[in-house]
A and B are shown apart, each in its own frame.
Chain A
């Protein structure tokens, strides 16, 4: 027993010293990595670490952080009703826009792939433009405006679907659906581009072979050939979709106001923003950030595992 343990440690030590030797030999690699790594650690890793640390403290920037244990998390769950609303809204938005946006991105990338080249270029621009158009979602505040001059209201009034203009952006009943529509509109982002590019790279001869082997329609082709060979892009697209689905902040703030009526458009990120930059309760805000971060990591793990099984 003892000898096995000793052997194990000896092996570990050897591995380690070999690694050290290798590292010394590859010194120049670290030199190349250094500028990026330093900035990355300073502005991405360190913030996450300090965020976790601050989440256990009371910190308001003026005074030094005071350690209060799990108090922030307890308050978050037991006392902060707005946070629970925010969690509910975020999950509703994420569960609807994440999968639908992801599937639509893939489907349209797949449809676009069948088009002739010049049409494909136009189609990619049309579908991708909303997600890079800056704050173009602002225009929805005109389309969904609450008075009769709002485009949707006047349209519905004209055709007699409604008698009086609806307050799309102030009535808690309508805020969330409107936001979901706007986010879906913006959801064909980086993942969509990755799909379009990936589909063009699928080996043509596989389709020919598939045809001879008895694949009869486009859906079988999609399931047996296209999806398995697109797996890396699907994984990347999933990461992007999760990021987008959980980090909803600008759209509700611009459309529904900040704060919105009855907190109907409050998401975890706007809640975090409120505590961090309006009330300067950094400790509490950090607890919110940590929760969001953990949820996203967990979600990512689950989805990546599920996607690995596609087509196998």
Chain B
């Protein structure tokens, strides 16, 4: 085929998509191979085949289900002595069949969805099978990641007899709030009222987060926007400090706290939280993205540094605030601080709840309820502020 003839085979792009246009140009210039037109998906045939596949799978599912019921009834009758014969242990094979049928159905439905909605050339360099594989892997991992959380919520909603049944089921058959009400009864009987623990945690979380946001933003502001001797060095130390966990510094911290007379006060938790390195780090990286002209203009208008910080910088870094609030709340809400707080009336909520969790098998239901209560707060806050957090994290990179 001559090149002229070849060019006639190239279709000009129908849409205004830039990629399509670039591809078209490249194909005309001969820099890019011409893709052969793929046969169009025959919708009717595809849907009929899909329906057949799904029907066969669901028939298998129903068959397995009926068979399991049969075998269970037979085994029960065997137990009751109504019939004689051998115990039928093949239930597990049919259950496996059930699971396999469900899995195949899910895979096929995803296949259908991707096949029908897979946009032709929406993005370059994406193959259909690659997309399908990635969606499947992600679905698998997402189920695995979510399973323990779902399981703890379900356990919290199960009555006692379902918690200890064999074989255990993931989803509760009779949903009850008994575990939560039991939890409040248990907490009500304790020496210190439940509300006291809650107040302690809320107080620590509130003060700690507020102070952290103000102090860290002040430091981040000068580190991001001014060049002064020692600033860069200080920041590099803070970056290294991102690696210190509370455990490594725990022991000397204890000594320092006791020298300062802060053991067994709230300050032992709050003051270190004020200086958490992650907050300063994220704030500084975010503030670097603000235009310096903003500050220069304010200078010319005669604003002082503090004025600039408070009425120009702070309103502009709201996403970063929210982010460091999340990190700080999450950190403080989850502290049990058993090492620095001894008085029972100053202990945190998480500490009290962990005592209940340690109560052993008899408190399994209550322990699950505790887990749900503790995890709901940070997750809810995260869901509500997700877009702002992602905006902040976009600037979180470590530059050389």
**Chain A residues engaging chain B, CB cutoff 8 angstroms:** 19-20, 22-23, 26, 28-30, 32-33, 35-37, 39-40, 42-48, 50-51, 54, 61, 108, 111-112, 114, 121, 123-130, 132-140, 142-143, 148-149, 151, 154-155, 157-160, 185, 188, 190, 193-194, 196-198, 200-201, 207-208, 211-212, 215-218, 220-221, 230-233, 235-236, 239-240, 242-243, 247, 249, 269, 272-273, 276-277, 282, 285-286, 289, 292-293, 296-297, 300, 308
Contacts and interface: CB of A to CB of B under 8 A. Distances in A.
Please provide the 6 A-B residue pairs with the shortest distance between their CB atoms, ordered closest to farther.
Answer: A232-B397, A36-B219, A197-B393, A133-B375, A47-B252, A39-B275
A40 B220 CA distance: 13
Nearest to B278: A190
B327 to A, nearest CB: 8
B393 A135 contact: no
Given A51-B251, A139-B371, A125 B382 contact: yes
Given A111-B137, A197-B394, A293 B252 contact: no
Nearest to A283: B251
A154 B168 contact: yes
A33 B219 contact: yes
A123 B142 contact: yes
Contacts of A190: 278, 327, 393
B176 interface: no
Contacts of B205: none
A285 to B, nearest CB: 5
Nearest to B246: A247
Contacts of B255: 50, 54, 61, 282
Contacts of A197: 390-394, 396
Interface in B137-195: 137-138, 141-142, 144-146, 148-149, 151-152, 155, 163-168, 170
Given A44-B277, A130-B145, 7 more contacts: A36-B280, A47-B252, A114-B126, A185-B145, A193-B393, A211-B125, A232-B397
Contacts of A48: 244, 248-249, 252
Contact of B244 (A44, A54, A111, A151): A44
Interface stretch (B19-27, B44-52, B76-84, B103-111): B19-27
Contacts of A215: 125
Contacts of A124: 386, 390
Nearest to A199: B394
Given A43-B249, A211-B23, A217-B127, A194 B148 contact: no
A276 B250 contact: yes
A160 B393 contact: no
B375 A297 contact: no
A126 B145 contact: yes
Contacts of A159: 92, 95-96
B248 A247 contact: yes
A253 to B, nearest CB: 10
A289 B305 contact: no
B20 to A, nearest CB: 10
Interface in B45-61: none
A86 B268 CA distance: 29
Contact of A239 (B95, B155, B243): B243
B19 A208 contact: yes
A112 B229 CA distance: 42
Given A215-B125, A300-B243, A285 B92 contact: no
Interface string B27-70: 00000100000000000000000000000000000000000000
B190 to A, nearest CB: 19
B239 interface: yes
**Does more than half of chain A's interface fall in helix, strand or loop, or is it mixed?**
helix
**Does more than half of chain B's interface fall in helix, strand or loop, or is it mixed?**
helix
B378 to A, nearest CB: 4
A272 B383 CA distance: 36
10 contacts: A28-B222, A47-B256, A54-B255, A114-B126, A126-B146, A132-B382, A158-B95, A208-B18, A249-B245, A282-B255
Given A36-B216, A125-B386, A285 B243 contact: no
Interface in B372-400: 374-375, 378-379, 382-383, 386, 389-394, 396-400
Contacts of B334: 134-135
Contacts of A40: 238, 241, 275, 277, 280
A177 to B, nearest CB: 16
Nearest to B327: A190
B151 A46 contact: no
Contacts of A308: 400
A126 to B, nearest CB: 5
Nearest to A151: B168
B274 interface: yes
Contact of B379 (A45, A50, A133, A158): A133
B249 A47 contact: yes
Contacts of B15: none
B398 A235 contact: yes
B85 interface: no
A196 B393 contact: yes
A286 B252 contact: yes
